[in-house]
Amino acid sequence: MARNWLASLTNGVVAGAAGTLARELFSNLDVGVRARPMSDTHERAVQRMADLAHVNLGPADRAANRRAGFGPVFGFVNGVLAVSLFATLTARWRPPLPVAAGVIGIGGMLVADGSMTALGVTDPRRWGAEGWREDALPYVAYGLAAATTLKRLDRHG
């Protein structure tokens, strides 16, 4: 039993990394193709967490570098944790691939947007259709890549 749980968790970490890579590639390609600005929500989340924890990030230039470095880490951790949680909770029975992809994509989006909303960094009620599209489409890629990777790892692991 512990081996199955640990194998599911490990597969979830790997699938989460694959999904997160797909999400980031999709987002950055969208930025490049449409020449839109990069989002700074992860950097603002880092600043907000530092403020809440009463942690000084240093002088302005060093603080900006820390936010730029830790911001993406926050996004990567969210992406991997969401799939790891899914893989662990569904260790005994995986839903069909389209269902798994949808649950992972929506779940990842909820984890990311929920944490950003809780930190007061964003308010999805004010995004508009374009903002929702920019946020949702990378999570479609995330869900598909993660679910497909998890299915393959389960079959061959």
Query: Does some domain include residue 97?
Result: yes
Contact 27, 103 (CB under 8 A): no
Structural domain of 98: 2-38+72-156
pLDDT in tens, 34-71: 999 999 999 999 999 999 999 999 999 999 999 999 99
Residue 85 and residue 104: Cα distance in Å, rounded? Answer: 10
**pTM for this model (two decimals):** 0.92
Q: What's the chain's Rg over C-alpha atoms?
A: 17
Instruction: Tell whether 62 is covered by a domain.
Output: no
Helix 41-52 to helix 97-118 angle (10° resolution) is 50
Q: Is residue 119 helix, strand or coil?
A: coil
119 occurs within a structural domain? yes
| pLDDT score, position 155 | 87
**In angstroms, rounded to a whole number, what is the distance separating the alpha carbons of residues 76 and 51?**
21
Number of folded domains that form the chain: 1
The answer to whether position 61 is within a domain reads: no
Is position 50 within any domain?
no
Q: What is the C-alpha separation between 142 and 157, in angstroms, rounded?
A: 21
Q: What is the DSSP letter of 91?
A: S
The Cα 60–Cα 27 span in angstroms is: 28
Of the listed ranges 2-6, 25-29, 50-54, 71-75, the least confidently predicted one is: 2-6
Write the pLDDT tens digit of every residue in 110-143. 999 999 999 999 999 999 999 999 999 999 999 9
Q: Give percent of the chain above pLDDT 90.
A: 94
Q: What element of type H or E holds 25?
A: helix 2-34
Residue 63: inside a domain: no
Supply the pLDDT for residue 80: 97
**Domain for residue 99, yes or no?**
yes
Burial status of residue 13 (CB atoms within 10 A of its CB: 0-12, 13-18, 19 or more): middle
Structure tokens at 48: 């907000």
Residue 9 forms part of a structural domain: yes
